[in-house]
Every structure is written in structure tokens, then in C-alpha cells.
Amino acid sequence: MLAILTYSSVFGSSIERVLGCDDIYKGYICQPDMSQYWGQYSPFFSVPSDISPRTPEGCRITFVQILSRHGARDPTAFKTALYNATIQKIQNNVNQFSGEYAFLANYVYTLGADQLTVFGQQEMVNSGIKYYTRYEDLTKHFTPFIRASGEARVVESAQNFTQGYHQARLADKLSIASDEYPYPINVISEAVGSNNTLNHGLCTNFEDGPDSNIAGNAQKIWQSIFTPSIIARLNADLPGANITAADIIFLMDLCPFNTAASPTGQISQFCALFTSREWHQYDYYQTLGKYYGYSHGNPLGPTQGVGFTNELIARMTNKLVDDHTSVNHTLDNSHATFPIGGGQILYADFSHDNDMTGILSALGLYNTTKPLSNTSVETATQTNGYSASWTVPFAARAYFEKMSCRGSSEELVRILVNDRVLPLGMCGGDALGRCTLSKFIGSLSFAMEGGDWTQCFV
């Protein structure tokens, strides 16, 4: 574990910057050669960017929308039962544990189900601090309008974000904003049949049709290729364990989940059971699941993000939402629950990894990524920046910025995903990753035309 406790001066007051493995500004900093290859189970880390994420010289930010995944959580109820059963099988079948496996002899499965961990809560507090300090020219004057999808861990993540935002505001001696904390959070129901742009579920053919099997099929092929050597090694090291390909994935999952169960993000002992090369293979396994499940690898994946994209268009252009997919018009037609204009320039929405993947795809952000191979690893560089860990780790965040720049008669748009400035090739992005607002909106015809929503119910 990285035992670091330092302090950073923010606005003349001390805010704890690094405790354990998590840094407010850089994210998770322990063993990056491993922890940045846990797919969607990686803790947030600042992704390398070819373009500086700093506000360009001569520009000032005029609008910011953050779209965030919830913080690190326990496994789902379904998975936690499988993980526990895997541990029980190994402990019942193996007589001796030695070396790096020694801890398994007395390991007790204590992971919960579905809830944020303490570490995940702190990730979101850190996210709120970072958002405030990054956009201090705006946040010292304004408070974001906040929405959260209805799952408990998502709502709690939004609350934790506001705690961090509030902490940073209190530390800002120059803030002149009215600070009526706690800030209101608009929660959108995830009940079956509910219109919710932050949670998919309405598109029948996507949820239950043949397209719902594409990701699993791609993963099975890759799993059959990269796990045999690992199976052979672990079964040789643990005679009688009878470890299967499925067990390998479960044991690898237990590395990030046990790490997230540590309040300071201490690297789990499960992590040392696998090599760096194997973690790259695992990361790619998870990337295949996201790409073929919710991104351009699934015919209906990007369509799941159309509703939010149309809401973003409305916010950026100060016009009413025009959408016939997943938008809740009862909410979006009311200024109280979907404010547009009138000085509202900061927005914060909280969702899930699958929904963020669909939204980023609906925006066309990874449309230069070629269909991913299911027989060999492709790095994030080879996929033009697409991987599960680079796009939707725990506490992932995308910043959608508008800026006014010297020499430009029109506002410019820039998008950062986990601190990586995207090139915005779909709208002719410049060397700093910016498009004019009109060209950016013009590139979103897929969403404005409803995507392939008509294919959801045929």
C-alpha cells in the first residue's frame, strides 16, 4: 500500500489531497501497471491525454456538464454469491496453500452486494472537490443542477459529490455563491417502464433480443483463448482446486473488489495471483463486454444514449428538449426539474457504466474505433482511446465544456473523459480538441433523429 498523507493548499485552506492510494486530482495512483487494467472495475485514474486538459490560453469556460458513474461498489448480489461459492470450492478442495496463495487458507468472504464502499464514497467526494477547483471561475458563483438515477449507490454517489463540492466551496475564501447545503438532488426512478435517460431499460429488443447476447459471445471466445494457461498454472499450484475458466474471471474480479473494500484502496492479495500480461488480457475481456454490449459493437448500443444526448443539446443551446426515446417529458418540460437558461450553466448527472457507454457512443465519440478483435488484445492506443478502464472505471466522469475564446465569434465545445481530451473528429475538432458549437450540434444527427429507436419494438 502507498502510505501517503499530504496536504494541498486550496484557496488558502488545507484540503487533504492524498490518503492511501487515491489522489483528488490524479485518481488512483497505486500500481498503475495493474490497477489501470481492471476494466470497469478499475478505480478512477487520470487517463493520459495527447491534448492538454488545461483550459486553452485566451479562453474562458462558460458551461460545464459532468456525467459521472457511481463510485466503487461491492459486487452485485448475483456475482457476490458466485464469488463466495468459488472461494468455498477452492478452500474445500485444496489441502495446502503456500506462497502467494497462503492467504486463501483463512480468507473469509465478507464483500456485500451492490452498495458503495467507503473507498467509493471517498472517490465521489474527491470528484466533487476536483470539479469545484477545476472550474472555480464558475463554481465560486454557481451551484450545479444535480440529477441521479434512482439506484441507491448512484444517489449516494451524487450526495458524496456534493459533499466534496461543498467542502471545496467552504475552503474557497473568494466564493460569493449562496451555499444552501445540502444541495437538492433530483432522483429519476429506475422502476420498470420508467423513462430515464440515465438508466436503460425501455428498448425491448436491446434488453431481451438477440443483440443482448453479442457481448457475452465475444467475451466467451476471448476467455477460451486467454484463460487456459492461467487455469493450468493455478491448478498446478493448488492441487485439487479444479479451477475453471469461469473461476479465473471470478478470482480476477476479486482483486479490484477487495481493493475497493479497503477504505484506503489497499491493493488486495488477490491481485498478486496474476501477471501484468494477464491483467492486460482481463482488461480486454471487460472491454469486449462494454464495446459489444453498449457501444458501437452492438447495433442498438448507441441508441440507448440518445435521450441524454438530446438533453445535452438542449442545455447547450438553451432550447427545449426534442426527443421521443427515453426522455421523461414530465420532468424535462418543467423548469424546476430541468432548468435551461436563466443563468444555469453547471450540471451534474450521475449514472452507471453501461449507460455512460451508450451515451458516449451516441455522441459519436468513439466512432473511429474499428470492431474489436475477440481473438487478440488491442491496446487503448490501437482502439483510438477506447477501453473499459479508460472510459467507465468506478467514479468515471466526462466533462462537456463550452468556452468563449479570443478570436472566435462562436462558442467552442470540448469533451474530456477521465481527463483525456477527445479529438472530436466527428465535428472537425481543432488541435486543442475543440469544435464550434454549431458544428458539434450538427454532428449529432444520429441522436436528433432518434437513433435506431424504431428498431427497439419490432
- Name the residues annotated as catalytic: 70
Cα(320)–Cα(251) distance, integer angstroms: 48
Which of 404, 438, 398 is closest to 420 using CA atoms? 398
Cα(353)–Cα(391) distance, integer angstroms: 9
Planar angle of CA 311, 312, 318, nearest 5 degrees: 85
Which of 447, 448, 426, 445 is closest to 435 using CA atoms? 426
Region for residue 368 given its phi and psi (left: phi exceeds 0; alpha: psi -120 to 50; beta: otherwise): alpha
Helix axes 214-226, 228-237, angle to 10 degrees: 50
Which of 250, 260, 290, 297 is closest to 395 using CA atoms? 260
Cα(457)–Cα(204) distance, integer angstroms: 6
Cα(231)–Cα(245) distance, integer angstroms: 7
Cα(201)–Cα(189) distance, integer angstroms: 12
Cα(163)–Cα(181) distance, integer angstroms: 9
What phi and psi values does residue 227 have, to the nearest 5 degrees? -85, -25
Cα(222)–Cα(204) distance, integer angstroms: 27
Rg (CA), the chain: 22
Q: With contact defined as beta carbons under 8 Å apart, do 359 and 301 qualify?
A: no
